[in-house]
Every structure is written in structure tokens, then in C-alpha cells.
Amino acid sequence: MKTLFKKRLGAHLTELTKYLRLVFNDYFVLALVFMIGGLGYYYSNALKQLTTGLWWAPLLIIIVLLISVQTGRMATLIEDPDYVFLLPQEAELIGYLKRAFWYSTILAALMQLLFWIVLMPFIQVTVSASAPQLFSLLGTIIFLKVAWMNADFARKYHLQHKWMGNRWLFRLIIPVVVLAISIYVNYFIGVVLAAIVMIGGLFTQNAWKKRSVDWQTLIADENSRMHSIYQFFNLFTDVPSLKGSVKRRRYLDWLLHKIKLLPDNTYLYLYAHGIIRDNEMSGLYVRLTVIGTLLLVFIKGEVLPIVLCLLFLYLIGFQMIPFYFHFDDNAFVHIYPVTTEFQLKNFQRVLLMMMGTVAVIFAITVIAVNLTAPVTVIGVLIGEAIEVGLFIFMYVPRRIKKSEFSR
Amino acid sequence: MTLQVSNLVGGYSQVPVLKDVTFDVKDGELVGLIGLNGAGKSTTINHIIGLLTPFKGSVKINGVAINDDVKKYKQQIAYIPEQPIVYKELTLKEHLEMTMLAYNLDQNEAWKRADKLLKTFRLENKLNWFPDNFSKGMRQKVMIVCAFLTNAKLFIIDEPFLGLDPLAVNDLLNLISERKKQGASILMSTHVLDTAQRYCDRFVLLHDGKVRTEGTLAQLQALFPEAGNSLNDIYLTLAREGEAS
């Protein structure tokens, strides 16, 4: 059982590395460097304007730390067939799961450390915390995370006392209370409370570790965890194990009815239906568009809106590229008597529609928000037009040729 | 007495699918679990293999309930699911090794048995293939080979006949009777009634989450004399009656 986890972890890490290589391609790294640099600059500037005693600062700290505590789930690396093949080993599964638990906990603790480091200057400035206080805050979030993870572990068993795996209790209620005590009352009481919660939580293991495993929760939890990881990777590349769900979306039929039923439009028909009804695709598209628009509403500046527009337009276009191959696994498209020369043209038309819509939405937002800054408005309009053109007619054909080659 | 299901009330959420189900499977007995789609066959099986916890009542294997001793309970079971489910990154050979590890089987002895089983199901030249790419019937054979590799006392087989070729069905039935002779118990759910009629020792007819009736074919014939002679006729009559009421 111990070796099984090691083996699974090895395979899992190999898979992650494979995808991470694709995620951190040159363009993305460049975009990321700019983004982190920009945010860092923005953050350090903002810090200079802050003083001690702002009423909203403690609240913001609690919210950010609460988000921090939510990051990182228990990675069990359990697979669907396990409930059949590992059925007789169920009593030994605890050894396997314990390894998984500690592995996930250590990763999650590192995440807490990261959040803490980023937030540290803000805490120092706004509530003027001392070093011992800061360190006890770090201890608090790590202990809370261990208790969180322990509850996530507990719910994978058929519990006699359901509260031991209660998500509301260990994910929200206890962290909110303990963090509020830390920030508003005393950091040291907070860390002691968090430690008590953690130790008590770990003690509950004795109550359930000999009980039967709730395979359905175990498998469903792991699948949902992997699904979110794959969803992230799917932003950058085509993930074969990601099976998207499909929605009818009757209210968009008027768009689809516009397609003329000619042989040349075969792929247009497929791509349009696919993108509209496939939840992964349309979900990503809508999410990124909404986030981009919201950012444009709130962010001011002469150049920043232009950069944001172009960045989001690029991200949206980029994550649609793998969809070009979406129907390649389907035998029908290879049987149809249509030439593939129209595939790229059809795909470009769909892309033009999608990116054009986003460009118009962004442009309207920018114009509405920055009426007084004509330079920004003109910059956005011209920048978007150039980007869409270059992206669809220069970049996409090359990129697809490259991917086709490596497939 | 190998498997004893008593007054079982259970299901997936708060709404019970099974309402007071009681039946047993004795040593060396093949019991057919029969019912319409949605009658509760798979739910019953999920309770026996421990995927679900009973709301009320109990499931015991040789007197052990799952929360008495998980290890003792689980090690007695081998399970063949209705939908074959395999690891996509393991070869056939590795699936067999996995089973040997999980059931803690002696490697030499297990491989001897495995070779025989593989030959029976014509899989012996596919040891290094990935079962994930097999057809449904072939994947089902993989599940059968893995299950019969073990020394389980109780075999739970969920609808084994759909998708298997006639030769494989016959081989599976031979395997079952061989294990029966060695004293193992088998619970099998199925819709293929004429096969069930020929091979099962007893039948449990589920309808709407309850045991409608149970017994040997002769007992069922005696209970419902006007329904006809074959299991099929009896079952159809009962099912229509159930629909009407």
C-alpha cells in the first residue's frame, strides 16, 4: 500500500510536469512576468499610501487568510477502478491515505507560507504587528489548514459522527472565528486555539480509521480535484482526460440558424455548435470575458486598460485554439466527403466571431469608463483591431500547423 | 451461512430505495437476484460490497458486519461490476498483479491459476496490452479473470452475461460451478432468465425495493401455479402484477 502511493505519486508528478511544460510556454511566461511585475509594482505603491488603523484592513486580512486556508485539497490519487481492485485491501487503505494526507498537508502548508509572505508587508503596515505576532499568525493558518485537511480526510470514511468531516465547520466557521480572534483580540490566543482544533481533529482519526471507506465520496472528491487541475491545463492545451458536459442552450439557436447548410460550412457548423454547447469552452469564454470586463471597469490609467484589453483578448483567443482538434477523434469527420481546406477557414471565422464580440464588449467598457481620455480609447480600438487580425490570420495557422505536426 | 442480508433499508440519499430486504446465500449456493430496471438490484449489491451504509438492518458475511472488522469482511468478497472498470495506465498483466497484491495471493500459485483462466478466456496472448482499449466483452473477461484469481468465499456478480460471447458465458458458468463445489457462495444479478433458470439454485425476486418472493424454481412454481412453468413466465406474471397494483 505504501509503495502503491509512491508509484501513483510518481506517475502523477510525471503527468503534471508534462502539462506544466505546455503551460509555461514562452508567450505565457512573458505575459506572466509582466503581470507579476505589474502587480508587485502596484502593490508596493499602494502600500506607501496606507497607514495604521484603517478600519477595513483587518477585515481584508481575515478574508485573504480565509482564502489562503481554502487552497489545496487532499490529493488521494485514487482511481475509479480502485473500489473493485482494492476492495479486499480496504483495511490497509488507511496507510495509503495517511501518506496522501501528509503529502497534501505539506503542500498546502507551503501555500499558506506563500500567502503569508505576500501579505506580510500589508499586515505590518496596517496593523503594525510585531515579528512574534506575525509568526503566530503563520502558525494559526497552518494549524487551521491541517484541521481543514483532516476533515477532508474524515469525510472519506463512513463516519459515525458526521461532524468530524463537516465542511462548513472546518472550512468556514472555525477558521473565521479563530482568525477573527487572532486579528481583533490576541494573536497568541488565536494560535493556541488553532493548535487545539488541529490536535483535536487529528485525534478524531482514532474514531474513524477502522471504519469502512466511503468509496463514492473518495472517488468523487478525487475526480473533482483532478477535474479542476485539468480545467486549468485546458486553458493552455488540449487535455484528453477532460470530458466536458454539454448544455442545450436553446436561446442561442438563432446564432446557429444563421449558418448556411453548404458543404463548405461543415466545420463551421461543427465548431459553432461545439463551442456554444460544450461547457468547458463556453464556460471559459464567458468567465474570462466577465473578469476582463470587470477589471476594465475598476482599473484606471492611461496605458493599463490597453494592456489589459490586449492581454485578455490574447488569453481568450489562445485557449480556444485546442478546439480546432476537438472533432478529430470523431470518425464521422474523417468519413464525410469534405475537403479539410475549409477547416482552418471555418475555424478562423468562428474565432473572428468570438474574439470580435469580446473586443466590442471591451471597447464599449473602455469608452464608457474613460470618456475623458481619448488616447486610451483610440489605443484600445487600434490595438484590438491589430491584435485580432494578427492572432487569427498569422498566429493561429502557424500554431495549428505546429500542433498538427506533434500530434 | 455465508451472506445474510437482514431487514436492509438503504439507498443513495435520504430516500430509501430498498425497503426492508431480507435474504441469504448459503455456502456452495448460487442465488440469482432478479428484478426490473430500478428494482434495487444494484443498490443491494452496493450495500453488500460496502459502497453504501445501511439506514437500518444489516449485511453480514459469515457473521461479520462491515464495521465489526473491515478487513475480515472485505477479504471474503470478490466483485465483478456490471460495467467493467479498468485502470487505463495498467496492462492486463499488471491488472492481475494488482489483484494478487490486493488479495495477498501466493505469486506462483496465483500465476498458475491465472494462466489457466487466461487460456480459458483466450486472453493469454494479450498480457502486455492495455485492457482500457479492449471491447466491452473483453474487458468483462478481464474482470472475471481477476475475480476468479482470488480465493474469495463470496462472489458478487452484477449482470455478467451481456456483452460476453456464448463461449465465454459457458466458461463463466463452468467456473461458477467449480467454485460452488469448493464451497464458495455466489450472488448474481441478471436479466437473462433462461440461463439463470438452468444454473441458479435459488432466486430472489426484487420488486420496487422489496423482496417479492424467493425460493427454488420448484417452490416458485408451486407458489404461482397459474403463472407457467419457466422462470421467465413466472417473472413476467409477477412483474405485470406489480405494475398493475
Domain ranges of chain B: 1-76+152-245, 80-151
User: Which contacts (CB < 8 Å, 24+ apart) does range A238-244 have?
Assistant: A238/A322, A238/A325, A238/A326, A239/A19, A242/A280, A244/A278, A244/A279, A244/A280, A244/A281
Give me the residues paired with residue B215 across strands. B203
Whether domain B1-76+152-245 has CATH 3.40.50.300: yes
* B190-222 pLDDT tens trace: 988 889 999 999 999 998 888 988 999 989 888
Q: Is B75 on the interface with A (CB under 8 A)?
A: yes
The one-character DSSP state at A372 is T
Would you call A79 and B146 a contact, using CB atoms and an 8 Å cutoff? no
Q: How far is A264 from chain B (nearest CA, A)?
A: 34
Would you call B87 and A79 a contact, using CB atoms and an 8 Å cutoff? yes
Would you call A90 and B146 a contact, using CB atoms and an 8 Å cutoff? no
Residue of B nearest to A92 (CA): B71
Mean pLDDT, range A81-87, rounded to an integer: 90
* A122-162 pLDDT tens trace: 998 888 888 999 999 999 999 999 999 999 999 999 988 88
E strands present in chain B: 3-10, 18-25, 30-34, 56-61, 64-65, 77-80, 154-158, 185-189, 202-207, 210-215
pLDDT band at A292 (very low <50, low <70, confident <90, very high): confident
Would you call B53 and A158 a contact, using CB atoms and an 8 Å cutoff? yes
Mean pLDDT, range A168-177, rounded to an integer: 94
* A294-332 pLDDT tens trace: 888 877 778 888 888 998 999 899 888 888 888 877 777
ipTM of the modeled complex: 0.78
Mean pLDDT, range B109-132, rounded to an integer: 92
Q: Is A351 on the interface with B (CB under 8 A)?
A: no
Q: To the nearest whole number, what is the mean pLDDT of chain B?
A: 89
pLDDT value for B146 = 92
pLDDT band at A220 (very low <50, low <70, confident <90, very high): very high
Per-domain boundaries in chain A: 2-15+50-231, 250-406
β-strands B30-34, B210-215 pairing: unpaired
* A274-290 pLDDT tens trace: 888 887 788 888 888 88
Q: Is A223 on the interface with B (CB under 8 A)?
A: no
For residue B174, is pLDDT > 90? yes
Mean pLDDT, range A266-274, rounded to an integer: 85
Q: Is B146 on the interface with A (CB under 8 A)?
A: yes
Q: Is B4 on the interface with A (CB under 8 A)?
A: no
Q: Which of B188, B186, B185 is nearest to B160 (CA)?
A: B188
Residue of A nearest to B82 (CA): A84
Q: Is B86 on the interface with A (CB under 8 A)?
A: yes
For residue A246, is pLDDT > 80? no
Would you call B71 and A81 a contact, using CB atoms and an 8 Å cutoff? no
Which of A84, A92, A162 to mutate: most B Cβ within 10 Å?
A84
Q: Is A18 on the interface with B (CB under 8 A)?
A: no
pLDDT value for A157 = 93
Give me the residues paired with residue B34 across strands. B205
Would you call A85 and B77 a contact, using CB atoms and an 8 Å cutoff? no
Q: Is A84 on the interface with B (CB under 8 A)?
A: yes
Q: Is B55 on the interface with A (CB under 8 A)?
A: no
